[in-house]
Amino acid sequence: MPQELLERNTAALRKIGTLQYFLYLASLLAVLCAALPLAYLLNRATSSDADSISTVLLRAKSINVLVTTLTLTAVVTLGAVLVGVVLAWILNHVSIRNMTAWRAATVIPIAIPSYVFTYCWMTLNPGLRGFWAATLVLILSTAPFVTLATLAALRRVDWSQYEVAQTLGLNPLKTFFKITVPQIRNQVAAGALLVALYVLSDFGAVALLGVDTFTRAISNLYRGSFDRSTAAVLSLLLVAISAVIISLESRVRSDSEARRASTKIVAEIKPFHSAKLRLVSYLFLATYVSLSLALPLMLLMSRFISNQVELDFAGLTSATFNTVSAAAIGAVIAVSIALPVGVLLQQGSRLAKLADASVLVVHSLPGIVMGLALVALGSQVGWLYQTLGLLAFSYALLFMAKGVGSVRTALAKVPTNLLEISTTLGQNKVQTIRRVAIPLAAPGILSGTLLIFLAAMKELPATLMLRPTGFETLATEIWNYTSISRFSEAAPYALTLVLVAAIPTFLINRPDRSENARESS
């Protein structure tokens, strides 16, 4: 009997060792994947001498591009945080009718690519150009990132502290800053980070609106002069900016751990019923939804109906299928690599932290840089060049950070007492992860997969560069028609992209199943 028990323990230890080996190997793979575009940039940048590099960095054009990029990123991030937090606060605090519909309407704009937003506004005002136009478009595009993050945080706030603040005579504004903000700042910072990285990597909106950011400057250098060394230097500067932003977000993030109990022991907030507050809330919600969702959809429908050119149903169907299939493959690849990294992050692994930081930096790279890096790789491997697999792999690299973040968050929410119970019942670490942690974290992991799927469907520059010959997606068709001002012919593809992207967007949020979803009578 003792011999049999010893053999069982030895087998269990071997399983644990095998699992850890696999997790570390997968995390190393994530680091290596993230290193591909960075290695390409370093190789290109170092092909120039030091004088040339300093000339590129110090010339007036580069300084102007740097200032414009930083200013646009800061203004959009601040605007998106303000709009997103207010939206989340209203949706979680105020008693309004049709709450489910309002929640869906405020989140669905995340499904609309920035270049489609821009295309819609340009059909309304063809002369629309410049910094403030890009600011408006990008705030409307990115505010849902902050709204989703803040809503998730507000659902976990201990509102018994809010009641204590009220008894002490604090007004709602002071209560918000002293009680609510400390409990939600981590999630708000995470949402702000996504917004900042999105702005740094955006190409469609700034290109159409003529704003000279790094992405547009890099694209012009590659496409115009084919000066890849200069473009690589600017790309590395963009990487450095992203690294600083990621570092700032890490500092803002609180060291306090979220509550992870299997039962809800915090008091829930009672929604406000003030007539004035409800009126202001309705006006704010209606304004945002009108600008970010209703107006773009109306313009798309108007262009679609007024289109005099016969619709190519076969081309539309083919582009839709190509979009969904490429994005789905990319999402599966990304989550397959992100899942082991997320598991190791829960164990405090340094390698996993390096992988997390690496994929975040890559997430900020313009799609054109990723495209060129993988074109360079594909040119060395003939059978890989211009294949669906390489295109899907580019999506996985670009958006893996979303998967890692979702897996980490989902696993962090698994109640620790359930993991301890599993251990006391004789389950080893492998069995606990497989039978308890992963099933409980599955909804969060699925949300991360859908986020990657959604982002991949909207990706434009990498798709333009890496797609197989004759392989058109909804994004490339929109760009093909919009770039030659044939807006009406682009409308069916833009409308289809929005409708298809709205499905994963709704599934990510599922306002009808949220903890605090409520309908006002």
pLDDT at 45: 77
Give the pLDDT band of residue 358 (cuts 50, 70, 90). confident
Structure confidence at residue 417 (pLDDT): 66
pLDDT band at 305 (very low <50, low <70, confident <90, very high): confident
State how far the alpha carbon of 131 is from the alpha carbons of 87, 199, 212, 377, in Å.
25, 13, 9, 35
Residue 269: pLDDT band with limits 50, 70, 90: low
Rounded CA gap, 7 and 15, in Å? 12
**Residue 9: per-residue pLDDT:** 43
Residue 407: which pLDDT band, with cuts at 50, 70 and 90? confident
Cβ atoms of 243 and 236 closer than 8 Å = no
Residue 510 has pLDDT above 70, yes or no: no
Q: How confident is the model at residue 513 (pLDDT cuts 50, 70, 90)?
A: very low
Q: Output the pLDDT for position 17.
A: 60
How much helix, strand and coil, in percent to the nearest 5, is found in the chain?
80, 0, 20
Residues, the chain: 521
Mean pLDDT, rounded, for 306-315: 80
- For the ranges 70-74, 167-171, 405-409, 506-510, which has the lowest average pLDDT? 167-171
Q: Say whether pLDDT at 26 is over 80.
A: no
Choice between 124 and 81, residue whose per-residue pLDDT is larger: 81
317: pLDDT confidence band, cut at 50, 70 and 90? very high
Task: Classify residue 212 by its DSSP letter.
Answer: -
Angle, helix 114-124 to helix 131-154, in steps of 10 degrees: 130
pLDDT bin (cut points 50, 70, 90) of residue 138 is: very high
Average pLDDT over residues 364-372: 77
The percentage of residues in the chain with a pLDDT greater than 70, rounded to a whole number, is: 80
The fold of 26-257+273-292+309-513 is MetI-like fold (1.10.3720)
pLDDT in tens, 163-218: 666 666 666 667 777 777 777 888 888 888 889 988 988 888 888 888 988 888 88
Mean pLDDT value of segment 367-384: 78
Angle at 404 between CA 197 and CA 28, to 5 degrees: 105
**Whole-prediction pTM value?**
0.78
Please say if the pLDDT value at position 265 is more than 60: no
**Highest mean pLDDT of the ranges 174-178, 228-232, 244-248:** 244-248
Whether the per-residue pLDDT at 246 is higher than 70: the answer is yes
Q: What is the mean pLDDT of residues 143-166?
A: 77
Residue that wins the pLDDT comparison between 438 and 285 = 285
| pLDDT at residue 517, as a whole number | 36
Query: Is 2's pLDDT higher than 50?
Result: no
Residue 121's pLDDT is: 83
pLDDT (0 to 100) of residue 19: 67
To the nearest 10 degrees (0 to 180), the angle between helices 181-201 and 350-363 is 50
pLDDT tens, residue by residue, 55-84: 767 778 888 988 999 999 999 999 999 999
Position 12 pLDDT exceeds 70? no
Q: What is the DSSP letter of 512?
A: G
Q: Please report the pLDDT score of residue 290 as a whole number.
A: 92
- Work out the average pLDDT over 407-417: 73
pLDDT tens for each residue of 445-465: 888 888 889 889 888 888 888
- Sequence-separated contacts (24+) of 208-211 with Cβ below 8 Å: 208/115, 208/118, 208/119, 208/122, 208/482, 209/118, 209/128, 209/129, 209/130, 209/133, 209/134, 209/137, 210/129, 210/130, 211/68, 211/72, 211/130, 211/131, 211/134
pLDDT mean over 359-384: 78
Task: Tell me the residue ranges of DSSP E strands in 299-356.
Answer: none
Report the distance separating Cα 461 and Cα 321, nearest Å.
19
> How far apart are the C-alpha atoms of 34 and 490, rounded to whole Å?
34
Q: Which of 321, 362, 365, 363 is nearest to 457 (CA)?
A: 321
> What is residue 86's predicted lDDT score, i.e. its pLDDT?
92
More confident of the two residues 252 and 402: 402
Helix (H) or strand (E) segment spanning residue 284:
helix 275-289
For residue 324, pLDDT over 90 is answered with yes
Q: What confidence score (pLDDT) does residue 420 get?
A: 60
Region of 207 on the Ramachandran plot (φ > 0 left; ψ -120 to 50 alpha; else beta): alpha
Could you give the CA distance from residue 449 to residue 466 in angstroms, rounded to a whole number? 22
Rounded Cα gap, residues 280 and 285, in angstroms:
9
Average pLDDT over residues 24-43: 82
Is 90 exceeded by the pLDDT of residue 243? no
Q: What is the mean pLDDT of residues 333-348?
A: 82
**Weakest-pLDDT range from 11-20, 156-165, 347-356, 372-381:** 11-20
Query: What does pLDDT average to over the chain?
Result: 78
Q: Is the sign of the CA dihedral 133, 135, 138, 140 positive or negative?
A: negative
Per-residue pLDDT band at 366 (split at 50, 70, 90): confident
Q: Residue 426: what pLDDT?
A: 63
pLDDT band at 428 (very low <50, low <70, confident <90, very high): low
Position 512 scores a pLDDT of 43
Q: What is the mean pLDDT of residues 223-228?
A: 64
